[in-house]
């Protein structure tokens, strides 16, 4: 390396004074930055109000049933301010604080917000969780127990239930008789049901169980009664079905019939899925 040449080259930056940049002078009448309230897209506002996902909000906007300040709006690019009045089906929308409630569902409760036959619903169990209206993410059968998430975050709920996101669930299954290793292999390779081929992500005997009737199943399919249908197709009867994991959330430290709020870390984790 030519040290003298490099030093000489760098001297042109050290010997001369650095020019001072003058601050630009604002011209009279020039446009100043907008310091008013921050604008948000209309579909995001609707989703944040707990109505539905952003994509579904676009459909509502295009259908002409959304009004802003009394006027029908169909432009998907519409932005609004916090002072604007947004109405959906004559109902004024408000952005509510988001709540995320994790319930360890017991047997004999319906997974719905209301029931025309006055049966007990999961909403009774979480009635003191918050003042805002929350609703179940997905469904568990009346006799199925375990992890159930409830929220008023419509966008996240849609994400966690849409097939393309492959959200996994883990079930503890108790059957009426021992399961053969051959049937374990069949289920692992895929079972043909009336609505097509179903594959599980993982299946194994439950560790610590004193029999071969207790099985752990990991699956991402959200089809109706899918676990029961898999085993029934092979001649087994499901006596007990307990969801022990949903999207990485577990029922640890939540007694049956009780609930807790998700932590900020858990919420962030779900939104990154």
CATH assignment of the domain containing 69 = 3.10.290.10
Same domain as 138, residue 236: no
CATH assignment of the domain containing 133 = 3.30.70.580
Give residue 244's Cα distance to chain centre: 17
Residue ranges of the chain with pLDDT lower than 50? 1-16, 18, 23-32
What is the predicted pLDDT for the residue at 27?
47
**Cβ atoms 150, 128 nearer than 8 A:** no
Angle among Cα 6, 8, 11 to the nearest 5 degrees reads: 110
What tokens were used for 44?
């995001």
CATH assignment of the domain containing 194 = 3.30.2350.10
- Structural domain containing residue 179: 168-246
What is the Cα–Cα distance from 211 to 193, expressed in whole angstroms? 27
Three-state DSSP at 253 gives coil
Active-site residue, selected from the candidate residues 15, 58, 75, 141: 141
Same domain as 174, residue 65: no
What is the predicted pLDDT for the residue at 128?
95
Same domain as 161, residue 264: yes
Same domain as 263, residue 242: no
Within a domain: 33: no
DSSP state of 78: -
Within a domain: 22: no
Within a domain: 127: yes
Domain count of the fold of the chain: 3
Q: Which helix (H) or strand (E) holds 154?
A: helix 154-161
Within a domain: 9: no
Mark 182-215 as b/e (b = at least 16 C-beta within 10 Å).
Answer: ebeeebeeebeeeeeebebeebebeeeeeeebbb
Within a domain: 263: yes
Same domain as 216, residue 104: no
Same domain as 258, residue 151: yes
Same domain as 205, residue 231: yes
What is the predicted pLDDT for the residue at 248?
97
Question: pLDDT tens for residues 120-170?
Answer: 999 999 999 998 889 999 999 999 999 999 999 888 998 999 888 999 999
Confirm whether 253 is a catalytic residue.
no
Within a domain: 17: no
Within a domain: 20: no
pTM of the model: 0.73
Same domain as 238, residue 193: yes
Same domain as 260, residue 160: yes
Same domain as 267, residue 160: yes
Question: pLDDT tens for residues 101-114?
Answer: 999 999 999 999 98
Same domain as 125, residue 105: yes
Within a domain: 45: yes
Same domain as 240, residue 174: yes
């Amino acid at each position: 390396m030519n040290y003298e040449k490099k030093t000489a080259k760098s001297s042109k930056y050290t010997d001369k004074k650095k020019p001072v940049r003058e601050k630009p002078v604002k011209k009279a009448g020039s446009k100043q930055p907008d310091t008013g309230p921050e604008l948000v897209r209309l579909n995001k506002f609707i989703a944040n109000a707990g109505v539905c996902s952003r994509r579904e909000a676009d459909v509502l906007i295009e259908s002409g049933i959304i009004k802003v300040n009394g006027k029908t709006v169909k432009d998907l690019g519409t932005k609004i301010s916090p002072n604007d009045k947004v109405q959906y089906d004559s109902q004024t929308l408000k952005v509510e604080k988001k709540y995320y409630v994790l319930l360890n569902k017991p047997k004999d409760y319906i997974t719905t917000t209301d029931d025309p036959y006055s049966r007990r619903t999961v909403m009774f169990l979480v009635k003191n969780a918050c003042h805002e209206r929350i609703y179940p993410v997905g469904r568990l059968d009346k006799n199925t127990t375990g992890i159930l998430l409830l929220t008023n975050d419509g966008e996240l709920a849609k994400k966690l239930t849409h097939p393309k996101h492959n959200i996994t669930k883990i079930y503890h299954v108790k059957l009426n008789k021992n399961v053969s290793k051959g049937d374990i292999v069949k289920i692992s390779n895929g079972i043909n049901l009336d609505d097509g081929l179903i594959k599980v992500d993982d299946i194994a005997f439950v560790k610590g169980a004193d029999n071969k009737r207790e099985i752990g199943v990991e699956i991402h399919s959200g089809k109706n009664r899918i676990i029961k249908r898999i085993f029934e197709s092979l001649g087994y009867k499901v006596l007990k079905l307990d969801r022990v994991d949903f999207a990485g959330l577990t029922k640890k430290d939540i007694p049956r019939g009780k609930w807790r709020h998700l932590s900020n870390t858990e919420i962030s984790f779900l939104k990154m899925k």
